Structure 1
Amino acid sequence: MAHLGNGVEYGLHCLLWLTGSHAEPASSRDLADLQGISASFVAKLFPRLEKAGLVEATGGVRGGYRLARPADCISVLDVVDAIEGSKPLFECQEIRGRCAVFGGKPPAWSIDGVCGVHAVMLRAEQAMRRELARTTIADLAASTGKKAPDGFTQDIRSWFNARWSARTDTKAPTDSDRTAGRRRRKT
């Protein structure tokens, strides 16, 4: 089982799409539909990202999410901690003190200091957190952008604009619209 869940992957990919230059906010549903992932799962991620100050939300039909700060000021670690919390990579169970030959009373030499296994896990976690902290959403977007063919950014911008236009062209029916609709159905 992976230590970091798929929420981190989904969150990072969603934030990458928000680094684009489309002018309007993107809804969690649009971000999910664009990537072919669960809209309900993505919708659960964004309050965590918002609480962490990574995105900001606007409400209403034209609402959605935008990055709350520049992409080069949001680290991958910020996203991991927002979605997963800052839980440790490894939780030492202090097995070394349970050795059968100690008869339930481990000597001081066996438990003094940090366990060797725990020490290596701590170093690994620190190295991972350093790498995640130094890599920004802007870094990821730049490396992803290098792989994309010419015109892909415009295709994405057009896709988002079409979605946004569809939302803004749809209006809630007024009371008079509903009344007229009922009269038409009765006749």
Structure 2
Amino acid sequence: MAYLGKSIEYALHSLLSLINTPEDSPLGVSDIAEFQGVSPTYLAKIFTRLKKAGILRSSIGVNGGYELAKPPDQITFWDVVVAVEGEFRLFECRNIREKIAIYKESCQNPDWESRGPCTIHKVMMDVETQIANSLKEKNIAWLSKVVGQKLSQKEKNAAIQWFIQSVDDRK
């Protein structure tokens, strides 16, 4: 079954980390990977896709790294899914109705077979549309707000300080 994998989770957590970075202090992949406890190589592959999709921008050099390429309220969960994993498909129609035994044996094609999309396929497409629309309603700014409400000020400050220290250590 199709599912949205861990790459999406790491991408969303990474984007959340990038919201609160100090001005003109892009974060390196290795910093974010260390913060999340994931391989920098793995996260770099995700960042390459996010950059290609216009969600991130990068700068090179000692003080280089990644920043959001657009405001957090303009980066939807759907944008991240498409960037990281491609178009999401829940269902792949195999057009089984063309292979129904009684029609195959009699060499007669039923009239209903050619009348519009298969009902099963249509239901699944409707579900895919609902999922996509739901993911389009949520953005990184919303995520930051919700997560921010769950964290204490001490926890927020600790995360910000951790990244500030990481940037300072690279200088």
TM over 0.5: yes
DSSP 3-state at the match of 2:156: helix
Q: Aligned residue for 1:32?
A: 33
Q: Aligned residue for 2:52?
A: 51
Q: Aligned residue for 2:87?
A: 86
Letter in 1 for 2:36: Q
Q: Is 1:8 aligned to 2:8, yes or no?
A: yes
Cα distance, 1:49 vs structure 2: 0.6
1:14-163 → structure 2 map (5 Å cutoff): 14-23=14-23, 24-103=25-104, 105=107, 106-163=109-166
Contact 1:53 1:68 in 2 (8 A): yes
Letter in 2 for 1:78: D
Contact 1:96 1:111 in 2 (8 A): no
Alpha carbons of structure 1 residues 22 and 149: separation in structure 2 relative to 1, 3 Å: same
Cα distance, 1:146 vs structure 2: 0.7
Q: Deviations over 1:55-83 (max 9, x none)?
A: 11011121111101110011111111111
Structure number, greater radius of gyration = 1
Distance of 1:128 and 1:38 partners within structure 2: 29
Cα distance, 1:88 vs structure 2: 2.6
DSSP 3-state at the match of 1:120: helix
Letter in 2 for 1:108: D
Distance of 2:168 and 2:21 partners within structure 1: 16
Give me the TM-score of the superposition, normalised by structure 1.
Answer: 0.85
Cα distance, 1:2 vs structure 2: 4.8
DSSP 3-state at the match of 2:66: strand
Task: Structure 1: state its 5+ residue gaps.
Answer: 169-187
Cα distance, 1:98 vs structure 2: 0.8
Alpha carbons of structure 1 residues 2 and 146: separation in structure 2 relative to 1, 3 Å: farther
Alpha carbons of structure 1 residues 110 and 122: separation in structure 2 relative to 1, 3 Å: same
Distance of 1:155 and 1:87 partners within structure 2: 36
Contact 1:97 1:111 in 2 (8 A): no
Cα distance, 1:21 vs structure 2: 4.2
What percent identity do the matched residue pairs reach?
A: 39
Contact 1:58 1:65 in 2 (8 A): yes
Contact 2:79 2:136 in 1 (8 A): yes
DSSP 3-state at the match of 1:34: helix
Cα distance, 1:89 vs structure 2: 2.4
Distance of 2:61 and 2:117 partners within structure 1: 53
